[in-house]
Chains A and B, each alone.
Chain A
Amino acid sequence: MLIFATSDKGGTGRSVTTSNITYRRALQGRDVCYLDFDFGSPTVGAIFSVNSALRGTTKGGLHSYLQGRIPEPQRLDVWSESDRNSLRNKPPGAGRLVLLPGDQGGGEFSSTPETVKRCVKLFLRLEEEFELCMVDLSAGRSYATEIALAATADPEMRMVRSRWLVFHRWTRQHIIAASGLVYGERGIIDIGAARGHDREALRNSIRFVRTAVVDPNSPELAGLRSTQVAWLRDCNTELQELASRYNVGRTVTLGSVPLDPVLQWREQLISDNDVWARQVANQETVQAFDELAKRLTDEQAWEGL
């Protein structure tokens, strides 16, 4: 199955959340790969602490492949290439965790029929090898999104399931923007329909993920004054109403990730070590990732209303 991750605005924590979900899925024993389609700024190496590809690879990444300069994009196995101790060595029971980075210094490029064809070929090959392919797209309406929509509409791909995650922060502006990215003019559904997707089916394969969410009822907010909490709860209710009006409500949300200092200050994977041994990250955050990783393929979560 292909999972495309996108967001309307930058800074939603899309890449770091997607990476964490991928990592959790691998820990749950599944074979997964991660494709860095954020062509403007390849960063996946940094999140997974693969120093040889911190800002993209020099040995022929996705840019070179899609533009037809090389026959195969480079693959990096996280369990052996990562420079972080807690990521090195595959934990017992875990599945494969493979990265397909972009080129160092690569930039955005437009979509041509050839690019799309090469993309389809890559997806089909990866689909055979992996249970899940996570494709991290650039923020907003990008060429990467267009390539993805065109590739998934290709007749050769009709047997491959694909789903979309739209990340947004739990704020007024982000809710409206996320809704616009999906339902708005030249939004995902519009472009998808132009490329041959069925509107309803495409809409049903899109779910939202809320990031950096401050839960007004959480015990973590013990430091706030009661007046602040009272106000925060009202804001939260208002946001819920807004989200519902913009079709970004709970029923189309796959999950939410709480605000976590580790994610905020150092955009990286949260390992069990960070939670249990070093205690710098919160258990709730890891739980949220785990939950999201499971729900990606949980049919009930995608049934909808």
Chain B
Amino acid sequence: MKIQPRQQLLEIWRATTRTSIQNGEWQWGGRDRSNSISDAEQLLCLLAPATEVAAFRLDRPDQTAEDVLGALRDFGDSVEIPRRIVRLLTEYMQRYTDESGTPVFSGGSYFVAPDPARPPTKEQLALDMVDSFSASVTLTLATIGFVRVFRTVVRRDDILAELAALESMASTRLTAAIIGLLRSFSIFVFDADSDEGRRLCRTVNQAGLPERRVLDELRESLREIRAGLRDVTIGVRRVEGLENPNRLFECGWSWGITKGAPQVETVEKIGEQREGVAQAAPYLYFTVLALDGIEDLFSERTRILGLLNDEQVRLSRLLQQRWDLTQQYWSTIASFGTGRWPLEDLPWQTTDGRESDYFSLLVTSVMVQDLPGRRASTADLGRVGLVLNELANRARITRRPFEKDPAVAMHSPGVAFELEGTEELGGPRLSWRASDFAPLLLRRATRIASLLPDTEARSRLLGLADQIWDHLVSRRIREGTARDLWDQPSGAFAGVAEHYQQASWYYTSRVVQCLVTAANIVGNRPLPSELLSGIAKDLLSEAEHLFDQELLGGSTEAGPAMRGTLQEIQTNLRRARTIISDRPGSAMVRVTEALLVLDRLAAAREDMGGAG
């Protein structure tokens, strides 16, 4: 892998503190100004590595590595760093809680108004977004974990009180985010012969079968999911017609709390559960975001550290069920049929009739999350890998763009989609913009690579990851205080006119996420190749046999020179045996070294025989 996660992450930390701390004060917001999502992303640039990569932990200040401390020098020394982080997290939690104590998940400056002359209203800007729920789940879990560990080394009462207050705020926010996610889940039901139905049919019918047969097969394969969705009631408005097997459906997350979503009963005090206005239909983009965030709720770390309280465990079980159903739904659709997968038919067409390679990437993302659970075959993984490869080409990441290439718009300004329902609060219908194609692609490629047992397919995919990384490196900001951060699309696409001075936390936090994934892959044991293993074992058995012969010949009696040589051989062979199952390549080199020395002895004897 060309990516060097440790060095890169340290560089990002240095840059993040450099650009965020001005005159000793922390500055929220970058290019897209401050809002509940951007600020969480800004914090996650620091906190994601600190919680997910062992080498970057900051919660045990006695054991933090020197280079890690050096990267955060702008914060102070090893004692000051965790305290500054605690203060920043506290500030974030307070900033996004309103006077009534209700956590705020507003999209603010991330909303895009179609007409600059008609800006969004205040009510619109305050709308809670799934993006924020998801980022908050990740951020609050990181916070609670950080506090739990850091607390064990603190003795001062004032700091302990600060930590307790932060933990309780984070926990409240976590509960609120989980409930937000429950209430923004949506099931969209439509007739098979509606526009939506026909589009879905076209997507899944890659073999060109008669429509009736496709519909029958589709219904059959969605039967369990349909049954499962019938039990999904908490926080979701009842949908008519789901029981009717003649109707089709989609499930996933809308952009915010859906219109008419009932309140979720809870014993936790999380303030007001606001009315929603979002259209009750899944958006692929928000579905992927929600799935990513929810995954943190049942990660190994969350379970081991016991980060959730009883109520949160209860609520997150409800989310897990939706996670499973959504995952299964999209995987079923994307790999429907026996021949070519609908996913392989680029670009993906959504049921509301939009087509983009970005949607193909989003569907792939959902599928990739499901693959380890389904124990996907190597062949399936390979196929997804090929789709990613193709997407990288088509998105002009691994190929040069031509003049006025429409693919460039996918990166800058990004894919926009309308947020249906925002207009109900007065003001125009707002849009959302997603420009995270490259980091999303990189993250999925590394993830599949880590699952592939076949070394060749794996190194091919890692090669793709390297190429995407090169693309990302070319999009770094090159000068100013935000240098080394993202995103400067003109670095990769000559046709982009905009030139940015400030960092985009949206983009940078996604790159950080990629590097964290990469760091965890590098941290794992290398994948042993069976071929190498076989050769190493055969070599070792030959070497050991020859060595035994040498001992049988009485070489141990032959004085210090010979004894030294034999000892060296024995040490090499013993070492080889210890490491052969994990690192057959290294073991082989040890054995060949021993074989060489053994053969020198043998050759010397042959010569004697010849002379006689």
Contact = CB atoms under 8 A, between A and B. Distances in A.
A251 B78 contact: yes
Nearest to B154: A305
Nearest to A241: B63
B551 interface: no
A264 interface: no
Interface stretch (A122-130, A158-166, A242-250): A242-250
Nearest to A203: B155
B33 interface: no
Contacts of A243: 62
Interface in B126-179: 153-156, 159
A305 B79 CA distance: 7
A240 interface: yes
A217 to B, nearest CB: 7
B79 A303 contact: yes
Which of A244, A251, A300, A304: most chain B CB closer than 10 A?
A251
B484 to A, nearest CB: 23
Nearest to A215: B66
B67 to A, nearest CB: 8
Nearest to A245: B62
Nearest to B69: A250
A240 B79 contact: no
A249 B79 contact: no
Which of B60, B62, B79, B153: most chain A CB closer than 10 A?
B62
Contacts of A240: 62-63
Nearest to B60: A244
B159 A305 contact: yes
B63 A251 contact: no
Contact of B62 (A200, A217, A250, A304): A250
Interface string B67-91: 0000000001011101100000000
B61 interface: yes
A303 B154 CA distance: 12
Contacts of A303: 79
B66 A251 contact: no
Interface residues of A, number: 14
A237 B63 CA distance: 8
Interface string A206-245: 0000000000010000000000000000000100110110
A305 B61 contact: yes
Chain B interface bracket (under 10, 10 to 19, 20 to 34, 35 or more): 10 to 19
Contacts of B154: 305
Contacts of B79: 251, 303-305
A93 to B, nearest CB: 28
A244 B61 CA distance: 9
A305 B156 contact: yes
A24 B70 CA distance: 26
A249 B62 contact: yes
Contacts of B78: 250-251
B265 to A, nearest CB: 40
Chain A facing B: main interface SS: helix
Given A305-B154, A305-B159, A251 B80 contact: no
B146 to A, nearest CB: 14
A305 B153 contact: yes
A23 to B, nearest CB: 25
Contacts of B62: 240, 243-244, 249-251
Contacts of B61: 249-251, 305
Nearest to A243: B62
B60 A304 contact: no
Nearest to A244: B62
B352 to A, nearest CB: 54
Nearest to B61: A251
B283 to A, nearest CB: 45
B156 A249 contact: no
A172 to B, nearest CB: 16
B63 A300 contact: no
A303 B82 CA distance: 14
A217 B66 contact: yes
Contact of A249 (B63, B82, B159): B63
Nearest to B65: A237
B96 to A, nearest CB: 27
A85 to B, nearest CB: 38
A217 B76 CA distance: 21
Given A240-B63, A249-B62, A305-B153, A300 B159 contact: no
Interface string A279-305: 000000000000000000000100111
Given A251-B78, A251-B79, A304 B63 contact: no
Contacts of A251: 61-62, 78-79, 153
Interface in A195-210: 200
A193 to B, nearest CB: 16
Contacts of B64: 250
Contacts of B83: 305
Contacts of A241: 63
Contacts of B63: 237, 240-241, 244, 249-250
A44 B153 CA distance: 38
A211 B83 CA distance: 28
A200 B61 CA distance: 21
A200 B154 CA distance: 13
Interface in B5-58: none
A304 B156 contact: yes
Nearest to B153: A305
B148 to A, nearest CB: 15
Contacts of B82: 305
A243 B64 CA distance: 13
Which of B64, B80, B155: most chain A CB closer than 10 A?
B155
A240 B60 CA distance: 11
Contacts of A217: 66
B384 to A, nearest CB: 38
Contacts of B60: 244
Nearest to B80: A300
Nearest to A217: B66
B155 A305 contact: yes
A18 B66 CA distance: 26
Interface in A255-281: none
Contacts of A244: 60, 62-63, 153
A210 to B, nearest CB: 13
Contacts of B159: 305
B409 to A, nearest CB: 47
A84 B491 CA distance: 63
A175 to B, nearest CB: 12
A304 B64 CA distance: 16
A198 to B, nearest CB: 14
Nearest to A252: B62
A99 to B, nearest CB: 33
A292 B83 CA distance: 23
A86 B439 CA distance: 61
A166 to B, nearest CB: 16
Nearest to B155: A305
A192 to B, nearest CB: 17
A197 B154 CA distance: 22
26 contacts: A217-B66, A237-B63, A240-B62, A243-B62, A244-B63, A244-B153, A249-B61, A249-B62, A250-B64, A250-B78, A251-B61, A251-B78, A251-B79, A300-B76, A303-B79, A304-B79, A304-B155, A304-B156, A305-B61, A305-B79, A305-B82, A305-B83, A305-B153, A305-B154, A305-B155, A305-B159
Given A249-B153, A251-B153, 19 more contacts: A244-B60, A244-B62, A244-B63, A244-B153, A249-B61, A249-B63, A250-B61, A250-B64, A251-B62, A251-B78, A251-B79, A300-B76, A300-B80, A304-B79, A305-B83, A305-B153, A305-B155, A305-B156, A305-B159
Interface of B: 60-64, 66, 76, 78-80, 82-83, 153-156, 159
Interface of A: 200, 217, 237, 240-241, 243-244, 249-251, 300, 303-305
In order of increasing CB-CB distance, the 8 nearest A-B pairs are A249-B62, A244-B62, A305-B154, A250-B62, A251-B61, A250-B78, A251-B79, A240-B63
